[in-house]
Chain A
């Protein structure tokens, strides 16, 4: 299949033409994580860099649960040393008036809790370390 090709326009937007002869008008901007956000009219697509993809690869044998978005920690339900089942709620976060439970992805033992009730956390902030139980997926 032939490639799509993008051409910059005088106003800083893009004209992207497809192999089938169709074209779209696009806006693009790079964010602080080096991902490029592209607006195509019908959809917005985020193209991450290889660097930002690599950053999220979990470390073998040890899981660090990160804040998915800026949020307020409203409850810490796990203590260091607790043995938890997969799916157990470890923390409650509040964001945009919604309660977001942070759940254990696998069964395991809590090895560290990096946050406290009332703390405001930003995306990527490590919240809980979990050492998966032997045999856990």
Chain B
């Protein structure tokens, strides 16, 4: 491998580009729509535009075009493609097209992506490998009568799910069998329109479950290992918001059981490269029961928390595996060290039903200090557009204990300045300050259950203080009000030292 095309944008494209540079690999960026001047493009050696002025194509569709990505790799002489997460990362078509074009796909083989992408197929495979799955039924006969009979056997509360589903689409909770027909109809319509496949299955609903996932790595030399768990129970509408490693309730014994199960799952799938096995967990410590949920055949958004507690750079390992080298994971021996937390900074307004926000970033200051890492795809002056997922950046902290990590994350969030569009920063701060979160009493519905307390308006004191600042600020000249220039020294993000990007020719 000499040159890697990164088929992604935003913070993850930036993070992967850094890892490539550390290995001396060339970096090719791709972009579409409003992204020409974004960070991931400016820091690459070369950049290829995926759309053109004649196209009325939505920029997301351009990033999702396998043929345009392959064509961009051919034109720039890139001999490998890293898909990041989202976009094409779990489309078997890209992995297959890479093989056809003689390009290395930095991820698992196409047939593995295909197999794990079908929830029903994945469950069958896992059950055959002895991996526990949520009790449920997957009738081959998809008639209403057969699904009704299956539901009666599983019992309520149950969840109707789409085989091709993801992100909560095609999913309905049924608490009373009288509501079953409506739920089946709605789930099928949603699944057909979202995935073009209305195949449904039924699972028992696990009460107040935790979302625990295990990072796995596998190389081409027969080594498959796990790097411990991440707790991702703080989610909102199936979107993770805060993740941590290790989980506050996983004991070393439970970690061994989870890890061994995840490794068995990865082996059964014929896995290679970095992947994640997701579980629902009920109970705690040695009484905990866990069930296979799905396998993500890519790098996860929340991979940094595992990196911080294991000392393993997961993207470097992905590149090693893709080059045919054995894993180099000696640093992970002895289990997790300390505690890591990740907060996802979204451009959204929690007080307005988490409405995604767009607009210019007028002021941007990242927090700094020991154990503070920011994986960001934006800078001061960037215009955030409504075309893409609203994730701006990830704040990741590492500290010796969970309580110190929480304190570190809270302080870093207070120090994180984003002005010009609303973010969820103060929402994250309230989540991390809640007694339940401090005690580690989490489940996947916790955020929804505490919505009111987490989205309160600014206090009287805060409004009074802000009004005083605004009144004084308005006394400044127009230029001073809008830029960060102080005494003639530019302190905004457009200093040449911040925009230079890579030096390599």
Question: A71 — which chain B residues lie within 8 A by C-beta?
Answer: 386
Please determine whether B468 and A95 come into contact, CB atoms closer than 8 angstroms.
Answer: no
> Known pairs A36-B470, A37-B363. 20 more at Cβ < 8 A?
A3-B468, A11-B491, A12-B480, A12-B485, A29-B420, A30-B473, A31-B362, A32-B360, A36-B469, A39-B363, A47-B467, A68-B355, A69-B355, A70-B358, A70-B386, A95-B358, A96-B390, A97-B60, A97-B388, A97-B389
Asked if B465 lies at the interface with its beta carbon under 8 angstroms from chain A, I say yes
Please determine whether B466 and A45 come into contact, CB atoms closer than 8 angstroms.
Answer: yes
Of the listed stretches B156-164, B219-227, B455-463, chain A binds: B455-463
Q: With CB as the reference atom, state the residue of chain A lying closest to B429.
A: A42
Given contacts A37-B363, A43-B462, A95-B356, contact A28 B473 (CB under 8 A): yes
Please determine whether B356 and A30 come into contact, CB atoms closer than 8 angstroms.
Answer: no
Asked if B65 lies at the interface with its beta carbon under 8 angstroms from chain A, I say no
Choose from B347, B425, B476, B486 the contact partner of A44 (Cβ within 8 Å). B425
- Chain B interface mostly helix, strand, loop or mixed? mixed
Given contacts A69-B357, A72-B58, A97-B389, contact A28 B482 (CB under 8 A): no
Please determine whether A6 and B362 come into contact, CB atoms closer than 8 angstroms.
Answer: no
Question: Complex Cα distance A29/B418, Å?
Answer: 10
Question: B470 — which chain A residues lie within 8 A by C-beta?
Answer: 28, 36, 38, 47
Given contacts A12-B486, A97-B388, A118-B56, contact A45 B472 (CB under 8 A): no
Name the distance in Å between A91's Cβ and chain B's nearest Cβ. Answer: 15
Asked if A10 lies at the interface with its beta carbon under 8 angstroms from chain B, I say yes
Please determine whether B56 and A40 come into contact, CB atoms closer than 8 angstroms.
Answer: no
Please determine whether A43 and B458 come into contact, CB atoms closer than 8 angstroms.
Answer: yes
B 329-377 contacts with A by CB, 8 A = 347, 355-360, 362-363, 365
- Chain A interface mostly helix, strand, loop or mixed? strand
Question: Complex Cα distance A30/B471, Å?
Answer: 11
Interface residues in A, total, Cβ within 8 A: 44
Given contacts A31-B362, A70-B358, contact A38 B425 (CB under 8 A): no
Please determine whether A26 and B466 come into contact, CB atoms closer than 8 angstroms.
Answer: yes
Choose from B60, B347, B389, B465 the contact partner of A24 (Cβ within 8 Å). B465
Please determine whether B386 and A45 come into contact, CB atoms closer than 8 angstroms.
Answer: no
Question: B463 — which chain A residues lie within 8 A by C-beta?
Answer: 45
Choose from A10, A11, A14, A24 the contact partner of B473 (Cβ within 8 Å). A14
Choose from A10, A38, A70 the contact partner of B466 (Cβ within 8 Å). A38
Q: Scoring A residues 11 to 28 as 1 if CB is less than 8 Å from chain B, else 0, what string do you get? A: 110101010000010111
Please determine whether B472 and A18 come into contact, CB atoms closer than 8 angstroms.
Answer: no
Name the distance in Å between A71's Cβ and chain B's nearest Cβ. Answer: 6
Please determine whether B386 and A95 come into contact, CB atoms closer than 8 angstroms.
Answer: yes
Please determine whether B465 and A26 come into contact, CB atoms closer than 8 angstroms.
Answer: yes
Asked if A114 lies at the interface with its beta carbon under 8 angstroms from chain B, I say no
Which of B60, B390, B419 has the largest count of A CB atoms less than 10 A from its CB? B419
Please determine whether A30 and B491 come into contact, CB atoms closer than 8 angstroms.
Answer: no
Question: B473 — which chain A residues lie within 8 A by C-beta?
Answer: 6, 14, 28, 30, 36, 38
Name the distance in Å between B421's Cβ and chain A's nearest Cβ. Answer: 9
Question: B389 — which chain A residues lie within 8 A by C-beta?
Answer: 96-97
Asked if A41 lies at the interface with its beta carbon under 8 angstroms from chain B, I say yes
Q: Scoring B residues 461 to 499 as 1 if CB is less than 8 Å from chain A, else 0, what string do you get? A: 111111111111110101011101111000100000000
Asked if A8 lies at the interface with its beta carbon under 8 angstroms from chain B, I say yes
Name the distance in Å between A22's Cβ and chain B's nearest Cβ. Answer: 8
Please determine whether B462 and A45 come into contact, CB atoms closer than 8 angstroms.
Answer: yes
Question: Complex Cα distance A9/B461, Å?
Answer: 21
Please determine whether B471 and A6 come into contact, CB atoms closer than 8 angstroms.
Answer: yes
Please determine whether B465 and A96 come into contact, CB atoms closer than 8 angstroms.
Answer: no
Please determine whether B472 and A8 come into contact, CB atoms closer than 8 angstroms.
Answer: yes
- 14 A-B residue pairs with Cβ-Cβ distance under 8 Å, sorted by A, are A7-B472, A12-B486, A26-B465, A28-B481, A29-B420, A31-B362, A31-B420, A36-B474, A38-B466, A44-B418, A68-B355, A70-B385, A72-B58, A98-B356
Asked if A52 lies at the interface with its beta carbon under 8 angstroms from chain B, I say no
Question: A69 — which chain B residues lie within 8 A by C-beta?
Answer: 355-358, 386
